[in-house]
């Protein structure tokens, strides 16, 4: 016991002094390291010893529908960042675990046109991107970092609506999929994503990125997965059985300690369940159940969401969000959009592959 305690103290001391990039690498080395890197004590110590920021990017519409208000809500012990450099008409679309975001802004020279940008808010670096096929309505968008050694390599995945098609006597709902690769600096159009005609993306559930994969909830309660390395789509089942999923409300994909999670609320017993995907990426593990008494506040609200902050799991109510481990309540409007954010203050090359 004493040896293990001493060993954990040595590992904590080492991990608390590494860069964010190294910390992410250590999480992939072993389950023991990964578990240790999510311990509140280590995360608090890490923020004390390193020049980093963590918390939430918050966005809501301004007085004009084309304008947005951007604010940063830091987690406990974190530094803050000023988002005043973002254009007032900038709409944040996605954020990554490495402190990079994607936003869009109306193109000033042509009415109705949109320009896309990649940005590191902590360093105020902004780089314009080539445009995808913007005449198609964006349904979901995500950014994922697929490598950082020796240079940053990221991909942006955009799904846009398309028409129904008939294949082998069956009708399918289709989505156009475009992938932007920072090494080639171009958008690549992939094959149409085909879903059964009765199935579509759940627009109320956030996109979750973890371990190089992107996850989206479907309205039939299945989960759509995109592997950013192989660039292949697959689907798999949520922890709620097909025959039972309609009995649950407020179904959401979440992220907890770097793993895909699933949160749902029962319409029968008013309880809530929280599941995480196992390390084998095939089985689900139920890690917590809220009984009726614990859930009574949740049952009277709408649009319950769960996010994973680098320092704590977070529940969001209409009006407030609560850092459970920190017991800190921060004001939140019901129309706020929130993006988990974690970053250092080191400038990076956002335009690898761009031809000057």
Structural domains in the chain? 1-50 (no CATH), 51-344 (2.120.10)
For residue 304, is pLDDT > 90? no
Spatial distance between the Cα atoms of 128 and 139, rounded to a whole number of angstroms? 21
User: For residues 171 and 316, which has the higher predicted lDDT (pLDDT)?
Assistant: 171
**pLDDT average, residue stretch 74-81:** 84
Question: Cβ neighbours of residue 131 under 8 Å, at least 6 residues apart?
Answer: 114, 115, 116, 187
Q: Of 86-100, 131-145, 288-302, which gets the smallest average pLDDT?
A: 288-302
Spatial distance between the Cα atoms of 203 and 60, rounded to a whole number of angstroms? 17
Please, which contacts does 214-219 make with residues 24 or more away whose CB atoms are closer than 8 Å? Answer: 214/142, 214/144, 214/157, 215/253, 215/260, 216/140, 216/253, 217/251, 217/252, 217/253
Predicted pLDDT at 294: 52
Backbone dihedral angles phi then psi of residue 312, each to the nearest 5 degrees: -175, 155
Q: What radius of gyration do the chain's Cα atoms show?
A: 21
What is 220-266 written as a DSSP string? TSEEEEEETTTTEEEEEE-SS-TTTGGGEEEEEEEEETTEEEEEEEE
Predicted pLDDT at 231: 96
Let me know the angle formed at the C-alpha of 217 by 213 and 220, rounded to the nearest 5 degrees. 140
Q: Of 55-64, 151-160, 164-173, 291-300, which gets the smallest average pLDDT?
A: 291-300
Element (H, E) at 313: strand 312-316
**pLDDT average, residue stretch 130-134:** 86
Tell me which residue has tokens 């097909």.
242
**pLDDT average, residue stretch 306-328:** 39
Question: Cβ neighbours of residue 263 under 8 Å, at least 6 residues apart?
Answer: 250, 251, 252, 254, 272, 273, 274, 275, 304, 306
Question: Cβ neighbours of residue 111 under 8 Å, at least 6 residues apart?
Answer: none
pLDDT above 90: percentage of residues in the chain = 33
pLDDT above 70: percentage of residues in the chain = 78
**Residue 316 confidence class, pLDDT cut points 50, 70, 90:** very low
Spatial distance between the Cα atoms of 269 and 154, rounded to a whole number of angstroms? 43
- The torsion of the CA quartet 278, 284, 285, 289, rounded to 10 degrees, works out to 140
Backbone dihedral angles phi then psi of residue 293, each to the nearest 5 degrees: -65, -45
Q: Is the dihedral of CA 345, 21, 142, 215 positive or negative?
A: negative
**pLDDT average, residue stretch 253-260:** 84
Spatial distance between the Cα atoms of 214 and 225, rounded to a whole number of angstroms? 6
179-222 residue pLDDT tens: 999 999 999 999 999 999 999 999 888 899 988 899 999 998 89
User: For residues 100 and 320, which has the higher predicted lDDT (pLDDT)?
Assistant: 100
Spatial distance between the Cα atoms of 281 and 49, rounded to a whole number of angstroms? 34
Query: Encoding tokens for residue 112?
Result: 């109705």
Spatial distance between the Cα atoms of 80 and 201, rounded to a whole number of angstroms? 34
End-to-end C-alpha distance for the chain, whole angstroms: 58
Spatial distance between the Cα atoms of 293 and 299, rounded to a whole number of angstroms? 10
Spatial distance between the Cα atoms of 30 and 49, rounded to a whole number of angstroms? 23
């Amino acid at each position: 016991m004493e040896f293990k305690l001493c060993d954990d103290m040595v590992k904590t001391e080492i991990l608390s002094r590494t860069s964010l990039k190294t910390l992410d690498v250590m999480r992939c080395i072993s389950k023991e390291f990964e578990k240790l890197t999510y311990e509140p004590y280590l995360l608090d110590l890490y923020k004390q010893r390193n020049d980093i920021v963590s918390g939430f990017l918050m966005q809501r519409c301004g007085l004009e529908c084309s304008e947005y208000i951007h604010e940063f809500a830091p987690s406990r012990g974190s530094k803050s960042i000023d988002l005043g450099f973002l254009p007032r008409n900038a709409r944040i679309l996605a954020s990554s675990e490495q402190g990079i975001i994607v936003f869009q802004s109306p193109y000033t020279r042509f009415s109705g046109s949109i320009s896309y940008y990649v940005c590191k808010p902590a360093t105020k670096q902004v780089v314009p991107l080539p445009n995808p096929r913007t005449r198609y309505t964006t349904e979901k968008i995500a950014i994922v970092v697929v490598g950082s050694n020796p240079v940053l390599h990221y991909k942006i995945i955009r799904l846009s609506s398309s028409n129904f098609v008939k294949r082998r006597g069956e009708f399918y709902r289709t989505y156009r999929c475009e992938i932007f690769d920072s090494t080639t600096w171009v958008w690549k159009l992939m094959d149409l994503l085909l879903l059964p005609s009765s199935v579509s993306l759940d627009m109320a559930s956030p996109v979750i990125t973890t371990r190089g994969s992107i996850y989206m909830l479907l309205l039939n309660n299945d989960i759509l997965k995109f592997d950013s390395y192989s660039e292949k789509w697959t689907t798999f089942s949520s922890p709620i059985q097909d025959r039972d999923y309609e009995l649950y409300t407020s179904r959401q994909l979440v992220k907890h300690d770097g793993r895909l999670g699933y949160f749902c609320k029962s319409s029968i017993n008013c309880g809530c369940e929280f599941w995480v995907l196992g390390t084998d990426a095939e089985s689900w593990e139920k890690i917590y159940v809220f009984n009726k008494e614990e859930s009574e506040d949740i049952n009277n609200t709408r649009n319950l969401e769960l996010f994973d902050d680098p320092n704590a799991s977070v529940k969001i109510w209409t009006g407030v969000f609560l850092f459970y481990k920190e017991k800190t309540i921060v004001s939140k409007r019901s129309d706020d959009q929130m993006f988990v954010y974690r970053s250092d203050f080191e400038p990076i090359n956002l335009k690898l592959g761009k031809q000057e």
